[in-house]
Amino acid sequence: MVFTALFLAVTLTSPALAHPMPNSVVLLNVHANRIDAELQIPLVELQSAWGHAVNDSSAGLIARLGPQLRQYLKTHIRPQSPDGRFWTVSVGELAVSETQNPINGVYRELTAQVQMIPPRMDLPRMDLPGADTPTNADVRQFTFYYDVVLHQVVTHKILVSVRQDWERGQLAEAEPVQVGTISLDIVNNRILPLPVNLESGSAWTGFKAMVKLGVQHIAEGTDHLLFLLVLLLPAPLLVASGSIRRWGRFGGVRYGLRRLLLIVTAFTVGHSVTLLLGSLNWIRLPSQPVEVLIAVSILVSAIHAVRPVFPGREAWVASGFGLIHGLAFAGTLANLQLNAGPMALSILGFNLGIELMQLFVIALTIPWLMLLSRTPAYHYVQVGGAVLAGVAALAWIVERITGQSNGLTRAVEQVVVYAPYVLLCLALLAVYLTWSISQHQQNSTSHTNAS
């Protein structure tokens, strides 16, 4: 989080030519019927504009001057619709934090969460059925009268960017898109408002972006995939009879596919449930224990792949751990702070993306595992894969508890890049062994015929 803030501060600073004085930054989060804005205002400039020693004694600033600050901000933030009516502005959470960039060094800034709502179009619309229902006002076109600090400190600059615009498929994960700068028109010695004209989007664009985000989440989320793949490793095998439980021979294609389908479905059901609940903010767990539990889930399925710990109950385990993985997915969605409609579509799209990517990887992997599981070599693939996954899981557990990366987790990151090659080798090995076994069988058959 600190890193993100730093990154923003650096990237949003105008081209490095002058400015020993830090800029203000306005980050817009565009919703269907409102805009949430985050303001970042350097206290040194705010003090020059507003006084009250906000920079000289910034400790306890919000407690001391919260109401006055909110009033001041409201006076100087006045978005206006094309029909001339001003929007309703309310100032929410205020916070003071320290930030820095190479040009300005360390400085303190005020962060303010501001909500801007355009007036409703509640004029009677005779041309429409249900004429008296107010239609959604347009949040995408307005004149942004914003002169916080700038009304007095004429050398101040305000960079306005869109950080999130769901309907345009722009999510907060991407870099903010700059809308423009508000500053003194030096030649004419006046401060002009910023005309904002955001391209219109659609629910479909937002939905597509969420599917993409889901796909990306799994593609980059090594831990989620590893859990599922390792759990699937022993799926085609039967449990051997004997005093010590161990994995036995191939149980047949039908048996393998049935178990596989069951496990994947159970995992999906599990993470869908918590994704839904988490996204709606009905449950919220701190991310650290969730991340640790995800690593533990890999370890458990790795152990199971070596020796059957819970044979026949894989589906239950998959759904149980699915609940945990879903919580991690939910964090991403909850952060978007969307309205009910877009949120429902987001949950659907995001989950669909997760599913698509999951199925894609399974479709790429499972045929070869099924082929291999009919050969004696499978034992090595199964145990080798499980041991590697187990080691990675242990490394992640340590990393996620201590909060520090270690050599192993860094190695995993580098090795993951080569996963396609491993898959290729696996495929070639599977094809080769299957072919050689069938050759062998043919040979022995022809031999028998000949005799």
Partner 1 sequence: MKKVISFSLLLVGILAILFACQDHLMNPGTGGGTTGPGSLTGGPGMGGGMGSGVDIASSLTVTATMSTTASTNSSCATSTGLAKVVCLAQAFEATLSSTQLSTVQLAYNLTNAQKWSNLPAGLSARYGVNLASLSTAQLAAFRNLMVAVLSLNNSNEGYDEMMGNLVADNVLYYAGGGTTYGAGNFYVSILGTPSTTGLWELLFTGHHYTQPYTFNGPAGSGYTPAFRGVEPTSVVSNTATGQSYQSMEQERVAFAAMLTGLSSTEQATAKLSGTYSDLVLGPGQDWKFPTAKSGLQVGTLSAARQALVLNAIKLYVNDLDATTAATVLAKYTSELANTYVAYSGGTSVTSQNDYIRIDGPSIWIEFSYQGGVIIRDTPHPHSVWRDRTTDYGGTK
Contact residues: partner 1, CB under 8 A: 15-21, 44-45, 48-49, 102-105, 152-156, 184, 186-189, 417, 420-421, 424-425, 428, 432, 436
Which of residues 123 and 425 has its CB atom nearest to partner 1 in the complex?
425
Closest CB 189 distance from partner 1, rounded Å: 5
Which of residues 406 and 438 has its CB atom nearest to partner 1 in the complex?
438
Closest CB 424 distance from partner 1, rounded Å: 7
Closest CB 106 distance from partner 1, rounded Å: 9
User: CA 28 to CA 118: how far, in whole Å?
Assistant: 14
Element housing 145 (H / E): strand 141-146
Which of residues 297 and 375 has its CB atom nearest to partner 1 in the complex?
375
User: CA 262 to CA 255: how far, in whole Å?
Assistant: 11
CA 211, chain centre distance (Å): 11
Which of residues 20 and 84 has its CB atom nearest to partner 1 in the complex?
20
Closest CB 422 distance from partner 1, rounded Å: 11
Q: Which residues contact 51 (CB under 8 A, 6 or more apart)?
A: none
Which of residues 115 and 434 has its CB atom nearest to partner 1 in the complex?
434
| DSSP output for 214-255 | HHHHHHH-HHHHHHHHHHHTTTTEEEEPSSS-EEEEE--HHH
Closest CB 187 distance from partner 1, rounded Å: 5
Closest CB 428 distance from partner 1, rounded Å: 6
Which of residues 147 and 223 has its CB atom nearest to partner 1 in the complex?
147
HSE value, Cβ hemisphere, 13 Å, CA-based, for 416: 17
Which of the 8 DSSP states describes residue 113? E
Which of residues 45 and 223 has its CB atom nearest to partner 1 in the complex?
45
The closest of 37, 15, 25 to 107, measured between CA atoms, is 25
Closest CB 427 distance from partner 1, rounded Å: 10
Which of residues 180 and 331 has its CB atom nearest to partner 1 in the complex?
180
The closest of 299, 306, 325, 307 to 391, measured between CA atoms, is 299
> From residue 35, how far is each of 26, 90, 116, 302, 338 by CA, in Å?
11, 11, 5, 47, 11
User: CA 323 to CA 250: how far, in whole Å?
Assistant: 30
Take residue 123 and report the two structure tokens written for it.
Answer: 């004029």
Which of residues 154 and 280 has its CB atom nearest to partner 1 in the complex?
154
Closest CB 308 distance from partner 1, rounded Å: 32
Which of residues 105 and 242 has its CB atom nearest to partner 1 in the complex?
105
Amino acid at position 345, single letter: L
User: CA 83 to CA 147: how far, in whole Å?
Assistant: 21
The CA-CA-CA angle for residues 122, 123, 126, to 5°, reads 115
Closest CB 83 distance from partner 1, rounded Å: 32
Query: What is the DSSP pairing of strand 190-191 with strand 194-197?
Result: unpaired
Which of residues 283 and 431 has its CB atom nearest to partner 1 in the complex?
431
Amino acid at position 74, single letter: K
Q: Which residues contact 84 (CB under 8 A, 6 or more apart)?
A: none
| DSSP output for 63-102 | HHHHHHHHHHHHHHEEEE-TTSPBPEEEEEEEEEEEEEET
The closest of 275, 179, 288, 271 to 225, measured between CA atoms, is 271
Closest CB 421 distance from partner 1, rounded Å: 6
Around Cβ 32, how many Cβ atoms within 10 Å? 15
State the Rg of the chain over Cα: 29
Which of residues 60 and 102 has its CB atom nearest to partner 1 in the complex?
102
Closest CB 323 distance from partner 1, rounded Å: 37
Closest CB 381 distance from partner 1, rounded Å: 16
